[in-house]
Amino acid sequence: MFVAAPLCLFVDSCGSPDSGSEPRVIDSVSPYSSLSDRELTARYFARLVELQSLYEEMEAANKLRDYQTVHAKAGDGLEKARDARNLARHLDDSASRRERLKGIDRIVSDLEHLVRVTGS
């Protein structure tokens, strides 16, 4: 009885789908949805080149024990890796999509770990 009363209040506060308000229109579309697999792949590999450059910069900063720079570069790399992952998710070819996602997911995971470790 006590559990049902708060639940009823919650359900009543949500309103019905026909509560007189106009339906919400969601007009956000991925910027990648109109690109061909060829364009997506080209952008994906461009991100990997950028990640390689950031890796080299992080490696140099790490040798100097400049962990603030490593942290900043890892954060930049994480953004680029997540963008690459979004590009890969939009590939129509399932085998290519699976292969690209497998590789980039590992990079994202490694960069997330590096951001955590160097941020402490």
Does residue 102 lie within any of the structural domains?
yes
The pLDDT of residue 33 is: 80
Domain that holds residue 90: 33-119
Does residue 15 lie within any of the structural domains?
no
In the chain, at which residue ranges do the beta strands (DSSP E only) sit?
A: none
Does residue 23 lie within any of the structural domains?
no
Does residue 111 lie within any of the structural domains?
yes
Does residue 45 lie within any of the structural domains?
yes
The pLDDT of residue 111 is: 96
Q: What is the pLDDT of residues 51-83, one digit of tens each?
A: 999 999 999 999 999 999 999 999 999 999 999
pLDDT reading at 8 higher than 90: no
Number of domains in the chain: 1
Q: What is the pLDDT of residues 11-52, one digit of tens each?
A: 444 444 555 556 665 555 677 788 899 999 999 999 999 999
Does residue 39 lie within any of the structural domains?
yes
Does residue 13 lie within any of the structural domains?
no
Which pTM does this prediction carry? 0.72
Q: Tell me the CA distances in angstroms from 5 to 2, 14, 63, 66, 96, one per residue in order.
A: 6, 15, 62, 58, 52
